[in-house]
Structure 1
Amino acid sequence: MAAGRGGEPQPRGPQRDLQQCAVRDLLRRPAGKLAVRRAENQPHLRRAPRSPRRAPPHSVGGGALHLRAVRDRARPQLRVPGISAHGLGRGTQRTLSLLGRARVRVALVCDWFLPRQGGIELHLRDLAVTLREAGLDARIVTTTRGDPVVEGIPVHRVHTPLMPGAGFAFWPGALGEIERVIREEEFNVVHAHASVVSPVAFAGALAARRAGLPSLLTFHSMLHRSSFFLGASEALFAWNQGGIVLSAVSSVVAEQVARWIPGASVGVLPNGLDTRFWRARPNEPANGEIVFASAIRLSRKKRPLRLVRAFADAVRFVAGAPAMRLVVAGSGPEAVPMRRLADELGVGARVELAGQLSRRALRDLYARSHAFVLPSERESFGIAALEARTAGLPVIAMLASGVRDFVRQGIDGLLARDDAELTRHISRLALDAPFREYVRHRNASVVPPYDWRDVRATHLELYALAAARHTTARG
C-alpha cells in the first residue's frame, strides 16, 4: 500500500486489496495458480492467529504500515482429483446432474434456528428460501425448539436433551438421531453450519459421511477460543480426509480453520443479502447533525461499551462542530450499562438506543444516517456492516474482523487497528465532509457482489463439488 492524503493507506493494485476472491473464481483459475500456502500446516504454527494489535508492523512503500493480519489471509484451494475445475461453473444444472436427481433435497444442519434470533439463524432462513426458489428442496435440521414449518421452510427439530442455559445438545445419542433423520428424509446433500459450540453441526457432517452423502461444513464464527476443540475434532474425525468440503464465511475464519486442520483446503462461502431491498431507499441524510448508526447485539462480545467510549472521545475531539449523534439498533444485556456509561461520559443526550429493529426500519435508519460503525473485533463476517455498505453508508469497522473482506481502506470505509484508531475514524468522518461524501457516493453507485443470486450460485457450485468429490472418493 502507498500512503494517501492524511496518511491513510491506499491500495496499489488488486493484489493489495482486502477483498477475498469468490470461490467459483478460484475454481476457474488454472491449476498452477491454485497452489495453497502450506506454512499453516507446520506443527509450530497450528494455533489461532495473533491479534492484529500485537502483530509486528513493517514498512512498505511510502512508509505506510501494513499489518501481518492483512497479509496473512487465507488462500483457499478447492481441487478434486480427476475433476476439471473449469467444469464447476454451471450452477443448478451442474448440481442436479452430479447428484442424479430432478429435485435435490438439501439438509441445512445447525444447532441454532428460529425462533432464536441471531445472525446464523437469519442466514439459514434466507439461504433456505433462496435455495428453494432455485428448485432445491432445502430443509432445516436442528435441535432448537419451535414450529415444524417456518415461512414455508420444513424444519426437522430433533428432540434431544439440551444444555440448561446454553441451549445446545450435549447427549451423545444426538448423532444417532440426526443420522436417522438424514436417512429417513432421503437427503442428497448435507450442509452443516458450525458456530462457536456446534455439536449438532459436527454430528450432521459425521452422519452424512456415515450415510455416504456429499457434505459441506461451513464455519460461521471466530475460532480463537474454540481452536483447540477444532484441532481435537480433526484428530478424532479427520474432516480433511473424509471427502467433506470445508468452507468459512470470511477469509479471517478460513485462515483460522486452515491453521488447525493440517492440509485443509478451506474455501470462502460468504453470507448473502437482497441488494435490491437495501438499495430501495437512497441514502440522503439531512444537513447539520452527523448521524452515526450501528446495529449490534448488545452483549459484551460485540463491545457496545467500547462503541460508546469511542463516540464520546470523538465528540470531545470535534468539540461540537459539527454536532454528532449515535443511534444503536439492537437489544441485549448491555443496554442498561450503555445508557449509564453514556450519561457518565456526558453524551447521554447524543446516544439513542433504538432497540431491536426490523430490516425495513433499519433501512429507514440508514437512509437518514451519515456513516455506520461496527466496534466488534470478533466479527466473523459482519452482515450488518454489509447491509449498511449496500445501503450506501461509509463503514467504520475493526481490521481484525471479517468486514475487511468487503470494506477496503479509504474506499468503502475505514478499518481501525485498535480502539484509539476507532475514535480517530469516527472523528474523521464527522469532520472531513468531502471524504465522507466521496465514500457515500461510491458506495451508493457500486453494488457489492454479495447478492443472494450470486451467493446462491456459489453454494450450488460447492454442492456440485461435494458431489464430485464424493463420487471420486467412492470410485
Structure 2
Amino acid sequence: MTCRVLSISTLFPSAARPGFGLFVARQFEALAARGDVELELICPIARPLWPLSLLRAPSLEHFAQPTDKTAAFPVHYVPFNNVPAISTRWNPALIARAVLPLARRLHADRPFDLVDAQFFFPEGPAAARIAEELGLPLSITARGSDVHLWGQDRAARPQILAAAQQAAGMRAVSAALRADMIALGMPSDRIEVHYTGLDHSWFKPVPRGEAREAIAADAGLGISAGGPLFVAVGNLIPLKGQALAIEALLGLPKARLVIAGHGPESAALAMKAAELGVGNRVIFAGSVAPDKLALLLSAADAMVLPSEREGLANAWVEALACGTPIVIPDVGGAREVVCDPSAGRLAARNPAAIAGALAELLAHPPTQAAVAANAARFSWEANAAQIAAHYRRIAAG
C-alpha cells in the first residue's frame, strides 16, 4: 500500500538556488524511486517585507514557476513574509499561514496519510500546525543545529518541544543527536536514528595521483598538483569553522587548503587568510558540482571541517567514501563516523590541534581503500528504506 506524504522543507534546490538542500533532494529522490511512498513537497521561501524587499528581494525564479514539474515528485515553492533577523520566533506561524491554503487544496484533491517536517525549526512547529488542521499524524526530522541552536532559544524551544510532543514519530541523524533530543525533553520512545545516505556512484575513490592531475587540469578550480592538500567542504558560515582550518595552515608550512562552498563569510575568510600570510595557500573554489567534488576529495590528503555543531554531516561521509580521511571535532555523531583510525582524527576546535591531526595523517596516511570502507554502510537506498518504514508505521497509527 502506498503511503502519501506531505513534506515541508525550507531547504530544497530550485532554479534560483540549485545547490541548496541537495541532501534533502537526494533523500527524497531515493524514496520516490521505491514506489511505496508518494511524496509532495512544499518549500517555503522567506520573502522580506517592504521596504526590506527592495534591498533583499528573493529571486523571482522561485515564484515564476511555483511548482517544479521536472522533479521526481511535485515540489511547490511558497513565499512567506519575513523580517530578517527579527521575525525568527514567528517564522513557524508565518510559514503555516502561507502554506495552509495550498496544503488544504492538495489534501482535498488527494488525501495525505501524514505531514512531515525535514527540520525541527522552523519547519517542525509549522508542520505541527498544518498536521493539526488536516487531522493527520506528524513526523519531524532533527539534523543538528535545528535542535542544538534553536533548542536553546527561549522563543523557539517551547515551540520545538510542543511539536515534539505532538509528533507521532521523529528521526535523528545520529545517536548522539537522539540523546540530545531526549535531554531537551523530547519523548525517547518516538525517536529513531536514521543515518544519512550517500550516492556511491558519485562518491568513490579515484587514485590520488590521478585525481590530482585531473583537478590541476581543471582551470575552473585553479589548483596545482604538488604538495599536501586539504579540503574544507561546507557553507561559509561561522558555525563551520573554516577560519580555524585556515589558521591551522600556520603549523603546516607547505600545505594548501581548498575551501569548497559559498556563504556570507567568504570575504572575511579571504581577509583572514591574507592577514595570516597564507592567502597564496588558500583556494576558494565556491560551490563545486558533485562530480568535481568527488574528484577534489579524492585528490586531498584529508578533509577538515571544524564545525561548532553538527548532527552527522554529509560532507564527512562523502569524504570517507572518496578514500579521504577526515579531521573533525568531537561534535554530534562524530564518534559514530570516526570509529577507526583509518577514518581520520577527532581534534579539538583550535588551530594547533587541527594542525597536529592533519600532520599525523600526512605522516601515517591510511590507504584510500581502508578509508572508503568506513562509508560502505551509508547509502541513499538504505536511508530511503528506513524512512519508508518510519512513514508506514506512523500512517498505520
TM-score by length of 2: 0.79
Q: Note the alpha carbon deviations across 1:424-452, whole angstroms, 9 max, x for none.
A: 1012123x1xx3134x3302345431111
Higher relative contact order (CA 8 A, sep 6+): 1
Give the equivalent residue in structure 2 for 1:17: none
Tell me how far apart the structure 2 counterparts of residues 444 and 380 of structure 1 sit (CA, whole Å): 21
Of 157-166 and 143-152, more deviation after overlay is shown by 157-166
- The 1-side partners of 2:373 and 2:297 are apart by 16
Aligned pairs for 1:162-311 within 5 A:
162-164=82-84, 168=91, 170-171=93-94, 173-174=97-98, 176-177=100-101, 179-181=103-105, 183-184=107-108, 185-195=110-120, 197-198=121-122, 200-222=123-145, 223-228=147-152, 229=155, 231-233=157-159, 237=162, 239-240=164-165, 242=166, 244-265=168-189, 266-279=191-204, 281-284=206-209, 289-311=227-249
The question of whether the paired residues in 1 share the 8 Å contact of 2:124 and 2:160 is answered with: no
Equivalence for 1:157: 77
> Which string of whole-angstrom CA distances, capped at 9 and with x for unpartnered residues, describes residues 276-330 of structure 1?
2211634446696111111121122212211101122333xxxxxxx32211111
The Cα offsets for residues 210-244 of structure 1, whole Å up to 9 and x where unpaired, read as 43334311112323332145641266x3633x451
- Counterparts of 1:97-136 in structure 2, within 5 Å, are 103-115=2-14, 117=17, 121-135=21-35, 136=37
Aligned residues: 353
Query: What residue is the counterpart of 2:366 in the other structure?
Result: 437
CA contact (8 A) 1:143 1:159 kept: yes
Are 2:68 and 1:139 equivalent residues in the alignment?
no
Task: Measure, in 2, the Cα distance between the counterparts of 1:125 and 1:163.
Answer: 27
Q: Which residue of 1 aligns with 2:390?
A: 462
2:339 aligns to what SS in structure 1? coil
**Structure 1 pair 160/238, CA: closer, same or farther in 2 (3 Å)?**
closer
| Amino acid in the other structure paired with 1:138 | L
Unaligned runs of 5+ in 1: 1-95, 97-102, 316-322, 471-475
Q: Distance in 1 between matches of 2:315 and 2:124?
A: 24
The CA deviation at 1:263 is 3.6
Instruction: Look up the SS of the partner of 1:381 in the other structure.
Output: coil
Structure 1 residues 186 and 340: alpha-carbon distance in aligned structure 2, compared to 1, 3 A threshold: same
Cα pair distance change 1:251/1:283, threshold 3 Å: farther
Partner of 1:448: 376
1-structure distance, mates of 2:207, 2:296: 11
Q: 1:447 to 1:276 in 2, by over 3 A?
A: farther
Question: Is residue 353 from structure 1 mapped to residue 253 from structure 2 by the alignment?
Answer: no
2:219 corresponding residue in structure 1: none
Q: Distance in 2 between matches of 1:340 and 1:333?
A: 13
Given that 2:9 and 2:119 are in contact with CA atoms closer than 8 Å, whether structure 1 keeps it comes out as yes
Q: CA deviation at 1:377?
A: 2.1
- The answer to whether the 8 A contact 2:125-2:160 is kept is no
Closer, same or farther: CA 161–337 of 1 in aligned 2, 3 Å: closer
Provide the residue aligned with 1:44 in structure 2.
none
- Asked whether the 8 Å contact 2:13–2:20 carries over to 1, the reply is no
Q: CA deviation at 1:113?
A: 2.5
Instruction: Note the residue ranges of structure 2 that are not aligned, 5 or more in a row.
Output: 46-61, 213-224
Which amino acid in 1 is paired with 2:131? A
The amino acid that maps onto 1:390 is A
CA distance in structure 2 between the aligned counterparts of 1:126 and 1:175, rounded to whole angstroms: 23
Question: SS of the counterpart of 1:275?
Answer: coil
Q: Distance in 2 between matches of 1:345 and 1:110?
A: 39
Aligned partners of 2:7 and 2:41 also within 8 Å: yes
Give the CA deviation at 1:357. 1.0
- Alignment match, 2:218: none
Q: Percent identity?
A: 24
Amino acid across the alignment from 1:129:
E
CA RMSD of aligned residues (A): 2.8
Tell which structure's C-alpha radius of gyration is larger.
1
Whole-angstrom CA distance in 2 between matches of 1:150 and 1:385:
32
TM-score (norm 1): 0.67
Q: Does 1:312 align with 2:243?
A: no
Residue 341 of structure 1 aligns with an amino acid whose one-letter code is K
